[in-house]
Amino acid sequence: MIVLKWLFLTISPCDAAEPWQLGSQDAATPIMQGIIDLHHDIFFFLILILVFVLWILVRALWHFHYKENAIPQRIVHGTTIEILRTIFPSLISMFIAIPSFALLYSMDEVVVDPAITIKAIGHQWYRTYEYSDYNSSDEQSLTFDSYMIPEEDLELGQSRLLEVDNRVVVPAKTHLRIIVTSADVPHSWAVPSSGVKCDAVPGRLNQISILVQREGVYYGQCSEICGTNHAFTPIVVEAVPRKDYGSRVSNQLIPQTGEA
């Protein structure tokens, strides 16, 4: 087991894209964990079929090499094998479909009463986030824009093309509703470690429910071509402890709303 653990090296935890990354980013939500588990389920069948087919191919090349087998046979029927090669793939498809549909329908479950609703609005080429839960009738929503930090303004340790000036601050371990839309052309709000990708379509409100399981900073990028700076509109979600959320929002956002 120790040898196997050594052989199957795990990639160090990551919530952003990493150079030479092989697998998914680490899951921060139950949905992403479900996606990773489904991938693992399907990959089992992929490996099974790949090894089986490679074996049969190699053995066929071995046994029927022209030096070993000068006179080729013309086999045109084999009822038993034809039945088997129809049934087995159907069974495999069924074993893949069961967890796949289970995940798909669970992703569609709408949380009836999320604690917080955040609107994410795509623009060319920045994001606007609105926290409208804290309005009284005469106040505006807490609103701020989120622009990518240009490469020349990055500090040591920050990621190129991923950092933004104002992050989306959310409480961890809390049900959230994110409403995604666009003010101009289609965009897409994607955060891989949260298992979220939601199209931002002008004139339409798309809704997603997420529950971030651990505190951290999660990076994503625009995922629908939206013009010349499509590659330069990242998303950064910062999940903070619940007890710190209120102060973070008021400290971070009120100066921006004052300027807005």
Partner 1 sequence: MAGHRVAHATLKGPSVVKELVIGFALGLAAGGLWKMHHWNEQRKTRAFYDLLERGEISVVHPEE
**59 touches partner 1 by CB under 8 A:** yes
**5 touches partner 1 by CB under 8 A:** yes
* Residue 51 C-beta: closest distance to partner 1, Å: 4
Binder among 50, 183, 231, 254 for partner 1 (CB under 8 A): 50
Closer to partner 1 at the Cβ: 69 or 135?
69
Of the candidate spans 52-60, 152-160, 162-170, 186-194, the one that interacts with partner 1 by CB under 8 A turns out to be: 52-60
Instruction: Give, as ranges, the residues between 223 and 242 that touch partner 1 (CB under 8 A).
Output: 240-241
Binder among 16, 25, 27, 120 for partner 1 (CB under 8 A): 27
Of the candidate spans 159-167, 174-182, 188-196, 210-218, the one that interacts with partner 1 by CB under 8 A turns out to be: 210-218
Closer to partner 1 at the Cβ: 241 or 246?
241
Looking at residue 11, the DSSP 8-state letter turns out to be: P
- What is the distance between the alpha carbons of residues 251 and 58, in angstroms, rounded to a whole number? 66
Sheet (strand 126-131) strand order: 142-146, 126-131, 116-123, 175-182, 206-211
Of the candidate spans 64-72, 161-169, 192-200, 218-226, the one that interacts with partner 1 by CB under 8 A turns out to be: 64-72
* Type of residue at 68: E
Closer to partner 1 at the Cβ: 64 or 134?
64
Tokens 């190129």, residue located: 160
Burial bucket for residue 77 (CB in 10 Å: 0-12, 13-18, 19+): exposed
**55 touches partner 1 by CB under 8 A:** yes
Residue 58 host element (H or E): helix 30-63
Residue 209 host element (H or E): strand 206-211
CA torsion angle 165 166 167 168 (round to 10): -160
Do 142 and 185 meet the contact criterion of CB atoms below 8 Å apart?
no
- What is the distance between the alpha carbons of residues 127 and 208, in angstroms, rounded to a whole number? 17
Of the candidate spans 62-70, 126-134, 161-169, 219-227, the one that interacts with partner 1 by CB under 8 A turns out to be: 62-70
Of the candidate spans 51-59, 101-109, 162-170, 252-260, the one that interacts with partner 1 by CB under 8 A turns out to be: 51-59
Do 106 and 34 meet the contact criterion of CB atoms below 8 Å apart?
yes
Count the neighbouring beta carbons within 10 Å of the beta carbon of residue 226: 21
* Residue 58 C-beta: closest distance to partner 1, Å: 9
Do 50 and 92 meet the contact criterion of CB atoms below 8 Å apart?
no
**51 touches partner 1 by CB under 8 A:** yes
Question: What count of Cα atoms within 13 Å lies in the side-chain half-sphere of residue 54?
Answer: 6
Binder among 18, 52, 160, 204 for partner 1 (CB under 8 A): 52
**98 touches partner 1 by CB under 8 A:** no
Q: Which residues bind partner 1 (CB under 8 A)?
A: 4-5, 8, 10, 27, 33, 37, 40, 43-45, 47-53, 55-56, 59, 63, 68-69, 71, 73, 75, 81, 213-216, 240-241
